[in-house]
Amino acid sequence: MILRHLPALQVVIPLIAAPACVLLRHPALAWGFSLVVSLVTLAVAILLLVRVMTDGVLSYALGSWAAPWGIEYRVDPVNAFVLLIVAGIGALVLLFAKASVEKEIPRERVSLFYSAYLLCLTGSLGIAITGDAFNLFVFLEISSLSSYILISQGRDRRALTAAFQYLTMGTIGATFFVIGVGLLYMMTGTLNMMDLSQRLPEVATTRTVRAAFAFLTVGIGLKLALFPLHLWLPNAYTYAPSVVTAFLAATATKVAVYVLLRFFFTVFGADFIFRTFPLDEFLMVLAFAGILVASTVALFQPNVKRLLAYSSVAQIGYMILGISFVSATGLTGGVVHLFNHAIMKGGLFLALGCIAYRVGSTEITDLEGIGTEMPWTAGAFVVGGLGLIGIPLTAGFISKWYLILAAIEQGYWHAAAVVVIGSLLAALYVWRVVEVMYFRPRPPGRAPVMEAPLSMLLPTWVFMALTLYFGSNTQLTVGVARQAAIFLLRGAS
């Protein structure tokens, strides 16, 4: 009985838990409660994925209002996978959060912090699960508003300006998105994505629909930090609390990539996007620029958190590159990278969280000699770094392998070259950090530091173990991603 309501529970559980969390004033209690909630959410996501893989697409009419009129939650292979990523990372990061949050957030604000975290989780899950374009906007704003709050909790005062900057750009992005949805509604009279996809071909040549498409693309582009709309991202990631950076880096932009995929392939259909518009070439150029420019900028960052933030912009470039191939292999590479990058970056930012916990800084010069003093943390950073570069036997290799395969399949040699150059640049910026951590002695002025507590190391290493596991066993990731890619290319039919 309750299984029938799984799609609704996926969103409702964290949504109701968030205000309840405010009432728990005790920090440890609030943390325990949030952790339980996130684990239940993860269990729901796993059940949903299993059910979708066996029974096919699940449709859930919210409040029993039938689909084109009421809000429909629709779970297919693509978003079941995204739900699993978001819920899984939400739970793992919370496991890590206790010690880190106690150190970085004032005691009286901890329960409020967790409640904002749960709201952010709700928003991301809602974006992924809903089949209604306007409902998606509402969830987008739930996750965005709570993430502005989370970012502003950083200890540096620049966290405030970073949050404000993100608020302006995020709101512009979301408003562009609503304009696009409004124009689509004007032409079709529906907001349901499946319904939209069936009614759009009739009016596909009108200027209104093209304008809608342009607004939607730019709006979502702002949210996913598509180069050159990424300007909010480096500051937001650098000054946010460690836990928030890890969570946002691993989920927020990934969900936005999913929205892009959903609108491109399900709502508009590949034919409209890539035949009527030469958008594939345009996206490819942006992806190239993102990979090359952001990786180069990352090389010169004095702060490791900022370095990884720029690396995130570059990694988003790889996902967009995968989309721009418009082929099964390319999309598989893009979707698999969405997953692999989420676990690698999540783990890397958690490792940085361990360093921030002990050293109190993530400036590269403060990391000298960490390699011997915090061997497990530094080791985790190395594994994640190898994944970013794309060394065989790490998850990063798998996604780059599929991207290069797709490039060669279509004869795009320049795309393959960009992937390789991007990896070389990644090797350089990862090496910079590794060199400082292992081959420089501890500066005489700094007090010795201890290894991070087990409660922080464990989640960090779970991410790293996953990075290694999915680097050798690709059955789950590539299997699901391939199914998702085929599903997307088939369109809404």
Which spans in 1-157 are helix H?
A: 6-23, 27-55, 77-104, 110-129, 133-152
What is the distance between the alpha carbons of residues 174 and 206, in angstroms, rounded to a whole number? 23
| 372 class by beta-carbon count within 10 Å (0-12 exposed, 13-18 middle, 19+ buried) | exposed
Considering the complex, what minimum distance in angstroms separates the CB of residue 407 from other proteins? Answer: 37
DSSP state of 241: -
Closer residue to other proteins in complex, CB, 167/388: 167
Q: Of 304, 291, 314, which Cα lies nearest the Cα of 245?
A: 304
Under the rule (CB under 8 A), what is the footprint of other proteins? Answer: 134, 137-138, 141, 145, 148-149, 152, 157-158, 160-161, 163-164, 167-168, 171-172, 174-175, 178-179, 182, 185-186
Q: Which is nearer to other proteins, 56 or 70 (CB)?
A: 70
- For other proteins, which is the closer residue by CB, 164 or 277? 164
CA–CA dist 328, 319 (Å, integer): 14
Q: What would the two tokens of residue 457 be?
A: 């190391």
Task: Considering the complex, state which of residue 148 and residue 263 has its C-beta at the smaller distance from other proteins.
Answer: 148
Smallest distance, other proteins to C-beta of residue 189, A: 8
Q: Phi then psi for 61, rounded to 5 degrees? A: -90, 115
Min dist CB 186 to other proteins, Å, is 5
CB 170 to other proteins: min, Å:
9
CB of 309 to other proteins, least distance (A): 17
Single out the residue of 433, 316, 441 nearest to residue 385, CA to CA. 433
Q: Are 234 and 166 in contact (CB under 8 A)?
A: no
Helix (H, G, I), strand (E, B) or coil at 354: helix
Minimum CB distance to other proteins smaller for 140 or for 433: 140
> Which residues lie below 8 Å from residue 230, measured CB to CB, with a gap of 6+?
290, 294, 313, 316
Q: How far is the CB of 444 from other proteins (least distance, A)?
A: 24
Cβ distance to other proteins smaller for residue 141 or 451: 141
CB of 132 to other proteins, least distance (A): 11
Query: 186 vs 454, which CB is nearer to other proteins?
Result: 186
